[in-house]
Amino acid sequence: MDSKITIINVGKYKFKITDNTLSLYDQIYCRNFKIGSDNISDCVNISISYNENHPVSASIPYITYDPNCSINTHLDRGQGSVIMIKTLLQFIHQQIPSIKEVIFEDKSNIECATEYEIQKNTKHRKKGTNVYPIPLYYFSIAFNGETWYEKHFNARQKDLNKHTRYRTKINTLLYSNEVKSNTSFIQFLEIAQPPIEIIDELQKYYHISNTFGKFFQSIPKIDRCRLVRDWISTFMFHYLIDVFGNTEWIISLPLPIVGGKRNTRKYYCPIGRITHNKTYKDFGINIENLSI
């Protein structure tokens, strides 16, 4: 296996990209690209499959985070992690321009907790114990109208027809007065199945909102994890079962140029760790608010 290391500086960040090529008798079988910070080299892993020396597909087997991968400081709030992934995607496009898309599974989770719970469980976190991990994609759809990968990488489901129906259904669910008005609070409870001890609080916000989008936004940020984490997956699965799946997603290359009419609203995410595509390592991005 041949290896080549490239150092790339992007603003204040310094990345190390390792290109491993598996070949035999001038026949390339695969290439594997890894990117990391100065102290770790395998934060993000992208594999390129070859057939008769021609690249045919690219996939992200895993994304692993430890404190070095997150490149997180109090000032940039995790922005370096997104820049790291974009840097690798752009590097691969430059090296292999015939690769037009990268396939991945959205395995993102958010360790949704209150500040008190974060502080209380600090010792447990160091041992690898999570605090209320829930699918980030469901949480993000509810509060941002899109997943983390949609927001930062313009990702979509591989099945374009399915993805179009998914986007239509999200817009209807979050912004249609009719959907909300036709769902009584009792029906909402039957669908979401929240814990009985938070029903009175949810009812207060439910009745002052004429859309589900406004219902989610009306919940104070300090209370969102506590009031949403136990039922958001059940609720979203109910509405999206026929149009959404977390497998078979793609990121198209080259990455789109930032700007235009794309929604530039600040991305909301609560206090807690975010993990993507967990592997044998049990680490996450230790963030205060991933608002990139």
Each residue's pLDDT, cut to its tens digit, for the chain (292 residues) gives 678 999 999 888 888 999 988 877 788 888 999 998 766 667 888 999 999 889 999 999 877 656 566 554 333 444 677 888 999 999 999 999 999 999 999 988 887 876 666 666 555 444 444 466 889 999 999 999 999 999 999 999 999 999 999 999 999 999 999 999 999 999 999 999 999 999 999 999 999 999 999 999 999 999 999 999 999 999 999 999 999 999 999 999 999 876 555 555 688 887 666 777 544 333 333 323 333 2
pLDDT of 281 reads 36
Among 13, 48, 57, 18, residue whose Cα is nearest residue 34: 18
pLDDT of 36 reads 85
pLDDT of 283 reads 30
E strands, 190-266, are: 249-252
pLDDT of 22 reads 85
CA angle 173, 178, 181 (to 5 degrees): 100
Give the containing element (helix H, strand E) for 83: helix 79-95
Predicted model pTM: 0.84
